[in-house]
């Protein structure tokens, strides 16, 4: 849910330029009135950056300083661009172009292709992964599904960083990227991928930017034509621009400086795609005369949520951390963040569903609640838990609202009713606009009560319900509005991709939640190995994971629940620990009390449930060992060591397993013994699955005797932590 859709009213268009500025705080007003020269807005989460820049554009247009058609506002998602167009329309600045980099570039490329190249523009390839698979087949390289995805991501990264195949290996090493295959193989695949595109006369998404850059560089006449069209630029989320996008922006600008950029280095979370905050942080260096405005008044979150967000960044390191913004909450006090530990992931999901039900019963709308997780694979458990609890939900990242088939059909039905309603028996007994909409949409599948369960039927109903709610808001804001007026409003919203609110709890990854906000947010799975993710090894990667959690925290307006599970499946070994990012912030960790006191209070704590029933004291008697995947009782010693059936899938860290094997071989060589005398393969496998981070966690792995723990424990823990082992260690 965005700030734009948070209000259910349709605001009146301001009647003058000065009216556009009403309600802005001093810093936002400074942004809105700084219409000349380069401007850099450093805007913390929840500080109203979109409000500031849309009012800036609207004020310039309404004051006659900016011509609508000469302004190009660029951002990074179609949703954000749609929201910006919707806000500008409400402020009386229709006609301003608000697009993504790719959308703006594609329009220019399509228009200028016949003049710059000749003929028709190549088709944009639908499935890049399939083309990569074809390249792999041509190279006789076998890639599984995950490798296909990862190699495709490497090719995308290469292109947005303007890296050619021959330079890939060196560029990847310099950037600290962990290549999914041998760099030479990826370079070969990249080369053949480009050859296949050329042979098939297709281009990919990144080519749109590359070709637009090439045209503007090579054809001065076309570059001048674009610059005569667009004379003022606004770039949102500037911390996420890639080198290629920055180059395109420079070509659009030419030698002018009518540029306003907005960003927050502490929200840089897309470096894996080539994004870098350096352009934001170096803006004053490139533009010495720039106006720099810092927005730190947080209008979104309560002081309790802001305190946690500031605490996260206070522990950060690196260049982005050096430029962090200390947020100051402008809201009334609210509840403290709640930290909950659960026995396993299904229990964690049930606990979240239970708390969500409590919020719904307390009057919090479902659309104002979100469950955020690190990876999309975590979604299914929460979908099931919410469906079991009868709670409506929507998955973030699905197709755009106005592109959904049921919304298209509903729009056609409403348009038909607006034209020929006098002959429609459905409308005989209804007079007000909301009743008319409900009557029309009842023929499309809408009912006053939602269907049971989840899935496609429920999603279709939620889409139609969103149109019903929109009609109610429209009628309340514009008394006397007709069905034809509503259809016109829907058309404008569809053109702007300004979607109404869907009534359902949002399930989303932390990455896809960027730019959104809710009254209540559940951050789930906040445990080591997931936050930070296990493959975040370098300091830079770990710091980006911290920023990702910061983004998650700052999505919450009032209620914030942070949780983690000790193991993945019921019956599994409880070897997980809360994320290191929470150390010193959650109660019970070193420094937490001092930090809380400095901020004015301590966080609330609630231990999780171990089942649907009330929690009970932990039993001390020995219970049968059960498979942590399927729950079957284990009797085989080898299976008991792994805590899973031999046939159940393993979640082993393959890289860790190989490092342990190499270390074991060296230990065996030194002692003159067979490898298994150090540790058996099954023991190494158990360690690689558990990934222990302390002597206590290592000792809990079945079959590890004290003698071996004393001799090898320090080495094993160091390897699990990704550290190098000194050659002199453990010598007899």
440's tokens: 């029309």
Cβ neighbour number for residue 8 with a 10 Å cutoff:
14
81's tokens: 């661009």
Overall size of the chain counted in residues: 732
Distances (CA, A) of 383 to 356, 484, 545: 13, 38, 24
680 annotated to bind ligand: no
CA distance linking residue 641 with residue 601, whole number of Å:
44
480 annotated to bind ligand: no
| Residues 152, 154, 155, 161, Cα dihedral to 10° | 150
589's tokens: 């960790």
- Partners of 605 in beta bridges: 339
48 annotated to bind ligand: yes
- 302, with CB counted inside 10 A (0-12, 13-18, 19+), is buried
Greatest Cα pair distance, the chain, in angstroms, is: 96
- 487, with CB counted inside 10 A (0-12, 13-18, 19+), is middle
47 annotated to bind ligand: yes
128 annotated to bind ligand: no
CA distance linking residue 523 with residue 648, whole number of Å:
29
Please enumerate in sequence order all residues whose Cβ is within 8 A of that of 568, keeping only pairs 6 or more positions apart, or say none.
344, 345, 628, 651
Could you identify the residue written with the tokens 């309404």?
Answer: 62
Residue 727 CA neighbour count, 13 Å, CB half: 1
CA distance linking residue 668 with residue 671, whole number of Å:
5
Contact of 525 with 578, CB cutoff 8 Å: no
469's tokens: 């709610």
50 annotated to bind ligand: yes
CA distance linking residue 636 with residue 532, whole number of Å:
34
Cβ neighbour number for residue 406 with a 10 Å cutoff:
19
Please enumerate in sequence order all residues whose Cβ is within 8 A of that of 621, keeping only pairs 6 or more positions apart, or say none.
none
Could you identify the residue written with the tokens 């030419």?
Answer: 254
Distances (CA, A) of 607 to 342, 373, 563, 615: 7, 20, 10, 9
Distances (CA, A) of 626 to 119, 305, 636, 642, 673: 66, 40, 11, 10, 34
Measured at the CA of 110, the angle between CA 108 and CA 113, to 5 degrees, comes to 95
Q: Is 292 helix (H, G, I), strand (E, B) or coil?
A: strand
77 annotated to bind ligand: no
Q: Which residues are annotated as a binding site?
A: 43-50
Q: Which residues are annotated as a binding site for ATP?
A: 43-50
């Amino acid at each position: 849910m965005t700030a734009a859709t948070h209000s259910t009213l349709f605001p009146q268009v301001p009647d003058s330029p000065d009216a556009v500025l009403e309600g802005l705080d001093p810093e936002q007003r400074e942004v809105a009135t700084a219409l000349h020269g380069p401007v850099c807005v450093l805007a913390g989460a929840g500080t109203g950056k979109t409000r500031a820049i849309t009012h800036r554009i609207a004020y310039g247009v309404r004051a006659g300083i900016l011509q609508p058609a000469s302004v190009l506002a660029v951002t990074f998602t179609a949703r954000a661009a749609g929201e910006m167009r919707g806000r500008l329309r409400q402020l009386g600045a229709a006609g301003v172009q608000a697009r993504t980099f790719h959308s703006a570039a594609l329009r220019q490329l399509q228009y200028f292709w016949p003049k710059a190249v000749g003929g028709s523009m190549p088709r944009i390839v639908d499935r890049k992964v399939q083309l990569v698979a074809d390249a792999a087949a041509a190279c006789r390289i076998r890639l599984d599904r995950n490798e296909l995805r990862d190699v495709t991501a490497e090719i995308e990264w290469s292109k947005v960083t303007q890296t050619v195949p021959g330079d890939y290996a060196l560029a990847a090493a310099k950037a600290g990227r962990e290549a999914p295959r041998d760099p030479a193989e990826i370079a070969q695949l990249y080369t053949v991928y480009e050859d296949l595109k050329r042979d098939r006369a297709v281009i990919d998404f990144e080519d749109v930017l590359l070709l637009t850059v090439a045209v503007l560089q090579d054809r001065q006449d076309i570059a001048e034509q674009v610059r005569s069209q667009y004379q003022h630029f606004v770039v949102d989320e500037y911390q996420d621009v890639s080198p290629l996008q920055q180059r395109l922006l420079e070509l659009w600008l030419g030698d002018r400086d009518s540029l306003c950029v907005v960003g927050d280095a502490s929200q840089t979370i897309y470096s894996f795609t080539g994004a870098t905050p350096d352009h934001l942080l170096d803006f004053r260096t490139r533009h010495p005369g720039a106006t720099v405005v810092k927005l730190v008044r947080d209008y979104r979150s309560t002081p309790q949520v802001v305190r946690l967000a500031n605490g996260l960044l206070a522990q950060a390191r690196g260049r982005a951390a050096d430029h962090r913004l200390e947020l100051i909450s402008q809201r009334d006090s609210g509840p403290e963040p709640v930290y909950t530990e659960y026995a396993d992931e299904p229990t964690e999901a049930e606990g979240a569903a239970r708390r969500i039900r409590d919020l719904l019963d307390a009057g919090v709308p479902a659309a104002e609640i979100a469950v955020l997780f690190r990876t999309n694979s975590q979604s299914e458990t929460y979908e099931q838990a919410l469906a079991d609890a009868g709670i409506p939900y929507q998955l973030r990242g699905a197709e755009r609202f106005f592109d959904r088939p049921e919304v298209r059909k509903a729009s056609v039905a409403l348009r038909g009713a607006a034209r020929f309603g006098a002959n429609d028996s459905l409308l005989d007994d209804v007079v007000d606009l909301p009743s008319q909409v409900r009557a029309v949409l009842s023929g499309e599948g809408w009912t006053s009560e939602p269907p049971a369960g989840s899935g496609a039927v429920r999603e279709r109903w939620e889409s139609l319900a969103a149109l019903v709610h929109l009609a109610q808001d429209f009628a309340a804001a514009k008394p006397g509005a007709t069905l034809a007026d509503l259809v016109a409003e829907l058309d404008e919203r569809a053109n702007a991709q300004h979607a109404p609110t869907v009534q359902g709890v949002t399930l989303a990854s932390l990455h896809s939640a960027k730019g959104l906000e809710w009254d209540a947010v559940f951050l789930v799975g906040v445990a080591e190995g997931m936050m930070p993710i296990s493959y975040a090894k370098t300091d830079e990667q770990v710091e980006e994971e911290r920023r990702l959690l910061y983004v998650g925290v700052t999505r919450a307006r009032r209620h914030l629940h942070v949780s983690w599970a000790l193991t993945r499946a019921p019956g599994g070994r409880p070897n997980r620990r809360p994320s290191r990012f929470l150390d010193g912030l959650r109660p019970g960790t070193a420094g937490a009390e001092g930090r809380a006191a400095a901020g004015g209070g301590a966080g609330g704590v609630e231990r999780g449930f171990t089942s649907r029933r009330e929690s009970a004291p932990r039993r001390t008697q020995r219970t049968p060992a059960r498979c942590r995947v399927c729950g079957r009782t284990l009797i085989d010693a080898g299976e008991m060591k792994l805590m899973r059936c031999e046939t159940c899938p393993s979640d082993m860290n393959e890289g860790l397993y190989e490092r342990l094997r190499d270390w074991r071989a060296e230990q065996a060589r030194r002692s003159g013994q067979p490898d298994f005398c150090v540790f058996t393969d099954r023991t190494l496998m158990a360690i690689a699955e558990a990934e222990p981070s302390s002597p206590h966690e290592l000792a809990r792995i079945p079959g590890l005797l004290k003698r071996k723990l004393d001799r090898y424990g320090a080495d094993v823990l160091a390897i699990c932590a990704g550290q190098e082992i000194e050659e002199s260690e453990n010598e007899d």
